[in-house]
Amino acid sequence: MKKNIDSFFKLSQVVTGDNGIPHSLKTEYFDRINTFYESELTDLIEKFKSKVLPAKPEELESKFKSEIFDKATQTELNLIKQIILLWYTAQFNSPNAQVLPAETEQQYRLQRMYPLIKAPVKAYANHCPKDLNQKFVYGYWSNNPNK
């Protein structure tokens, strides 16, 4: 199980393109996805482990594209999308399209979508992830966040 969680985390880094996804949530997020997509997730992780993971770190994405993504079935594509949505927004959709929101405040607060665009997670400007490297104080919104 532990091995699959680590592989799930690696897979998540590849599909999100984001090495900043929080390590602390990998088990919770594996469980969340696994609850609804168990067999599909097991298959995807096995494929990932055998066909992609052996590649060099800088080649993981291209390997994933050629070996899995470009050949993916609709079911696999949907699962990949749900994994992306989960890390980006802390919520994803069940197979019957029910929205499954963040289970904890921490999950919501650590979503990656807003930090990627240099914005605070809504309602949590004063509790932002450290890697955002921003201080959200009065008036920050008038500045170019890259300067």
Partner 1 sequence: MPKQTKYDIVIIGSGVAGALAAYKLSVEKKNLSILILEASHNQYSDDSNREALLADIDNDLSISLRKDLVVSFAKSPDKKSLSPFDNLLSAKEVISPTDSNKDDKHFKHDIAIGDSDLFKANYLRQYAGTTMIWRGNCPRMNPSDFTMQTKNQLAMDWPTDVVDEQGNPSFYNDIEPFYAEAEKELGIACDADEWNEKNYHGAKRSTPFPMPPIVQSYSDNLIKDALKGFKILDFPEYENGVLKKHSIEKEIVVVPIPQARNSKKYSNDGKQQERPACQGNANCIPICPIQAKYDATVHLNLALRNGVELCSKSVVYKLATDDSGNINKVCFYKWDKTATDKVEVQVEVKTVFIAANGIETPRLLLLSDLAKKSGQVGKNLMDHLNGEVVGLFPKNVYPFRGPQSTSAIPTFCNHEKRKEIGAFNITIGNDGWGKSETPETILSNLVDEKKIFGSELKKAFKNRIQKQLRFSYSTEMLPQQYNQVTLAEEVDAFGIKRPKIKFKIDDYSRKTFVYAQTVLIRILKKMKATEIKPAIPTELGYGSTSHIMGTCRMGNNENDSVVNTYGQCWEHKNLYLLGSSVYPSGGTVNPTLTIAALTLRSVENFIKNNP
Question: Can residue 132 be called a binding residue for partner 1 (CB under 8 A)?
Answer: no
119 counts as binding partner 1 under rule CB under 8 A? yes
Report yes or no: 53 and 7 within 8 Å, Cβ to Cβ: yes
3-state secondary structure of 109: helix
From the centroid of its chain, how far is CA 44?
Answer: 15
Quick check: 7 binds partner 1 (CB under 8 A)? no
Give the shortest CB-55-to-partner 1 separation in angstroms.
13
Q: Which of 80, 97, 129, 130 binds partner 1 (CB under 8 A)?
A: 80
Residue 88 contacts partner 1 per CB under 8 A: yes
Nearest of 44, 25, 2 to residue 109 by alpha carbon? 25
Question: Which of positions 44-73 make contact with partner 1 (CB under 8 A)?
Answer: 61, 64-65, 69
List 99's β-bridge partners, or say none: 93
Q: Which H/E stretch holds residue 93?
A: strand 92-93
C-alpha 137/C-alpha 126 separation (Å) is 8
What part of residues 93-112 is at the interface with partner 1 (CB under 8 A)?
A: 99-105, 108-109
Q: Which residues here bind partner 1, judged by CB under 8 A?
A: 14-18, 61, 64-65, 69, 77, 80-81, 84-85, 88-89, 91, 99-105, 108-109, 113-114, 116-120, 122-126, 136-145
